[in-house]
Each structure stands twice: as C-alpha cells, then as structure tokens.
Structure 1
Amino acid sequence: MKIYPVEAGNFKLDGGAMFGVVPKSLWQRTNPADSNNMIDMAARCLLVESGDRLTLIDTGMGNKQSEKFFGYYYMDHRFDLDSSLKDLGFSKDDITDVFLTHLHFDHCGGAIQKNNSSDVLEPAFAKAKYHSNANHWKWATEPNDREKASFLSENILPIQQSGQLELIPQDSYYRTAQEMDFDILFVDGHTEKMMIPHFKIDGKTFVYMADLLPTAGHVPLPYVMGYDTRPLLTLDEKERFLELAATNGYYLILEHDPHHEIITVKHTDRGVRHDQTYTFKEIFN
C-alpha cells in the first residue's frame, strides 16, 4: 500500500468557530488569525494505492460553486484535484473508489462536477464507487437546521442518482473496509457517523483525522470546534483516541492544517500533546 497527499485548495474559516469556547488569546498561538479573524485551512485529501484499487479519501470543495460562495471562504485555487492528481501521475478516470469521511461541503464538494457541455451535475469520478454509510447518508440528506448549510444537496444527491453510491455497513464502532484494505473508526461528535480511516504501512499506523482533529492546534482536549454537533461527545472521542495514539505511536494525517501534514502525539503531565511534525516526503521517500 502507498498513500499520497492530494491538495484540493486552501481556504479560510473563522478562528472562533474553529475553536469554540477556547479564547482567541490561546488558540492564536498555534493558529494565527488575520484581520478578519480568519485562520488558514487546507483541504488535504488522501490517495491510497493498494493492489488494483486507487482510493481517493475526501475531495475538498471542488470548483462548481459560485464566485460569491467561494468568496466567503477566501479560496486559494492554486491547488485543485485535477492538477494534484496529475502531479502524482494519475487522473480522475484512474480513481476506483471515492471514500467520503462525511458529507460536509468542504469534504465532498469535489465529488460532483458540472458537465463540460451543460450545467448538469455529474460524478467527477466516472469510474469510481462512492462510499458513505447509511446513518450518515440519512443524516446528511435529512439535515438538521444546525448543519443544513454544510450539507449541500448538489454535492450529495447526484452520487445516489448516478448509481455509484455504496453504503458501508456500520455494525460496530470499528470495522474493516475490506475492498479498500483499511480500517474505519466511526465517531459521532462532529457529525453523525464520521469515518476515520486507519492504515497499516511498514509496521506503522497512519490515521486520516478528518474533523476529529482538524489541525495540530486542536490536540488539547477542550479545543473543540464550534461546528461540532455534540461537543461533549467529541471530548470523549478525542480523549480515547489520543490516548491510543500517544501510547501506540500513531502517525496522524491532518486534513485541514496547511502547516502540519503528519504529526505524532505524546503523553505529558498536562495530558496528550503534539510531539513531532513530519512531511509525507520525510516519511515515505
């Protein structure tokens, strides 16, 4: 198995929303804000090459939304899925599976595109299966008022309409996605049944953190996003996961941190804290 980072376009979000009840005087030490209180965010997707399968995990925002929409998020279009895949020697037609950790627009927007000859929406990966899970799919297609602005129907419904949707059974909180050769942890604090992939490579465990740990600045337990639907549950899920990660030396791949690609964590007298930072090149080259 090989894994590669795929940069889908940096953007910005409100720092207060990203850190919830934590005061700015604390969170800005690791995630400095601009004059509009916005902090830098990445959309670091992951490409997994295993046997004859090529799986893309998350897709960023994509490029089909309006200029006004992207203006809210200060989108940096220097990176996009097509160019990032091309840099790795692949194209969208090579992707066999698209695995969506959850269906918020910054994670699945690139899954759907407008047809070149019309405004018809279609899957951006014509030959791929798209993977979600039944509980989260229902949650996203019948959204609550809190998350409605994050679950955009144009990003979600065309997946099912195309016949390319596959729903992963969620019969326990940890299971193996056998087709794609990795394990999945299901968590519920951020949103219902978000999926956190775990990979075993050369004796090391790599975990793609999605929104369970958006940036390295979110390692301390109380640093929980205002976007989370069940923040107290996030506290519990983070604590259990970070204890395992520190004890077992997991390598944590950060989807939203533009400055830290991969980190490790360690036990300290103040709880689990950020330890080392690595790039993909440092680990895999």
Structure 2
Amino acid sequence: MQIYSIETGNFKCDGGAMFGVVPKIMWSKKYPADENNLCDCALRSMLIVDGDRRILIDNGTGDKQANSYTSHYHLWGEDSLKTSLKNVGFSFEDITDVIFTHLHFDHCGGATRYKSGTKELELVFPNATHWVSKAQWENYLNPNVREGDSYFPENVVPIFEAGKLNLVEHDGELFPNVEVRIFNGHTMGLMAVLVSDEDKTIAFTADFIPTMANVNLKWIAAYDLFPTVALKEKEAFLKEAAEKNFCLFFQHDIMNECCSLEQTARGIKPKDSFSLKSLF
C-alpha cells in the first residue's frame, strides 16, 4: 500500500469560525490571523494506492463556482488536484474510487467540471465509483437554511445521474485496509476514513477534527451544526485513537499535516507533528 498527501490549494477562513468559542488570544498563538481575522488553511486530500485500487478521499473546491461566491474564501496557492496527482504518477482517469467525507463544496467541488468552452458538466474521475454516506446524501438533498449555502447541485448531482454514486449506511470496512466511521456533529453523516497499513492506522478526520488545535475537546468549530454531539463524538474517538496509536491526518491545517496523540493529566493532547511522507 502507498498513501499520498494530495494538496489541492489553500484558502482563508475566519479564526472564530474555525475555533468556535475559544478566545482569539488563545487560538491566534497557534494560528496567526490577518487584520480581517482570517487564518490560512489547507485544502488537503489523500490518495490510497492498494493493489488495483486508487482511492481518493475528497478533492477540494474545483474551479467551477463563480468568484462572487468563492471570493470571501480567498483561494490561494500554486497547488492543484491535477498537478498533485501527476506529481505522484497518476491522472484523473486512474482513480478507481472517490470517498466523499461529506458534500460541502470544499470537499467535493473537484469531482465535476465544465467541458472546455461550454457549460456542460462532466465527471472529473470518469472511471471512479464515488462513495458518500446515505445520511449525508439525504441531508444534501434537503439541507437546512444554514447549511444549504455549502451544497451545490453541480458538484454531485451529475455523479448520481451517471449511476456512479454509492451510498454507505453504516460504519465498517469499505475496502480491505480502508474503514469508514460516520459522525454527525459537523454535519449529518460525515465519514472519517481509517487507513490501516501493517502496524499503523492513519485517520483522515476531515472537518470532524480539521486542525491539530481542534484535538482539544473544547475547541469545537462554529461550523459544526451540532456542537454537543461533536464534543461527545470527539471524546470517544480520541480515547480510542490514543489507545490504538492512530495517526491523525488533518485536512485543513496548513502547518501540521499529521500528529500522534498522548494521554496527559489534562486529557488527550497532540504529541508529535509530522508529515505523512515521513511515515513511509
């Protein structure tokens, strides 16, 4: 098995939104903000190559949305999904499976695109089966007022219409060495992905635990729709992760790609920060 970090670009988000009720004087020591309270964040995906399967977890924002919507996210950086895949020897056509942790635009926008010179949509990964939880799909079809602004039909509906969207109903092994866990604090049916390789397990936590700072139980993002649910889910997961020595892989932390955990007198905390590449 080979596992790669796939950078798709960067964006800026409000520090108060990312770190919730935590005072700025605390979070700004870890993630400095500009004069508009904006912190730099990553849009990081993962590619798993195991035998004949090439599994991509999430795929960034894509480039379809109008600037009027994406401008306040201040997308920046030279990295792109296509270039990052090419750098590790793969093309869009090589991908056999795409796992969506959830369907907010910054996690699935790269799955469709407009055909050159037209407004006709096509699948970016034409040979891939796409996977999302049933609960998230139902939430996507019938969003609440607050969450609806993060869902775009052009990102996922073409995949469904092509018959290439599979729904996952329960926790469990999706493929050999690849397990999904369903959480409901950030949004209904978010799927974290656990990848096991010999003696280690890497947890792609997505927006369940978006940065290393969010490992702290009390650092719950204001983006989470159900913060008390997120708190209970995170407490149980981190207990397991610390006991089993999981490596956490962060999708939005621009400074820390991965970390290990340790049990301290004040609860479970990050231990060491490192790159995914350093594990292989």
TM-score normalised by structure 2 residue count: 0.97
Spell out the pairing of 1:119-198 with structure 2 (5 A cutoff). Answer: 119-170=119-170, 174-178=171-175, 181-198=177-194
Mapped partners of 2:166, 2:198: distance in 1: 29
Q: Are residues 1:234 and 2:230 paired?
A: yes
**Aligned-residue offset at 1:68:** 2.8
Spell out the pairing of 1:98-113 with structure 2 (5 A cutoff). Answer: 98-113=98-113
Contact 2:135 2:169 survives alignment (8 Å): no
**Aligned-residue offset at 1:69:** 2.5
The match for 1:271 is 267
Mapped partners of 1:163, 1:118: distance in 2: 23
Spell out the pairing of 1:1-285 with structure 2 (5 A cutoff). Answer: 1-170=1-170, 174-178=171-175, 181-284=177-280
**Aligned-residue offset at 1:51:** 1.0
Mapped partners of 1:213, 1:73: distance in 2: 20
> Per the alignment, in what secondary structure is the counterpart of residue 109 of structure 1?
helix
CA distances 1:22-80 after superposition (whole Å, capped 9, x unpaired): 11111112111111101111111000101101011000101111233332111114111
CA distances 1:57-111 after superposition (whole Å, capped 9, x unpaired): 0001011112333321111141111010111111000001111000001101101
Contact 1:135 1:193 survives alignment (8 Å): yes
Q: Percent identity, aligned pairs only?
A: 40
Structure 1 segments, 4+ long, off by >4 Å, are none
> Per the alignment, in what secondary structure is the counterpart of residue 253 of structure 2?
coil
**Aligned-residue offset at 1:169:** 3.0
What is the letter of the counterpart of residue 212 of structure 1? F
TM-score normalised by structure 1 residue count: 0.95
CA distances 1:230-261 after superposition (whole Å, capped 9, x unpaired): 10010001111111112221100111111111
CA gap of 1:147–1:48, structure 2 versus 1, over 3 A, is same
What is the letter of the counterpart of residue 213 of structure 2? G
**Count of aligned pairs:** 280
What is the letter of the counterpart of residue 129 of structure 1? T
**Aligned-residue offset at 1:213:** 0.7
CA distances 1:135-159 after superposition (whole Å, capped 9, x unpaired): 2101011111110111112212111
What is the letter of the counterpart of residue 166 of structure 1? N
Show structure 2 runs of 5+ residues with no match: none
Show structure 1 runs of 5+ residues with no match: none
Mapped partners of 1:251, 1:77: distance in 2: 26
**Aligned-residue offset at 1:168:** 1.9
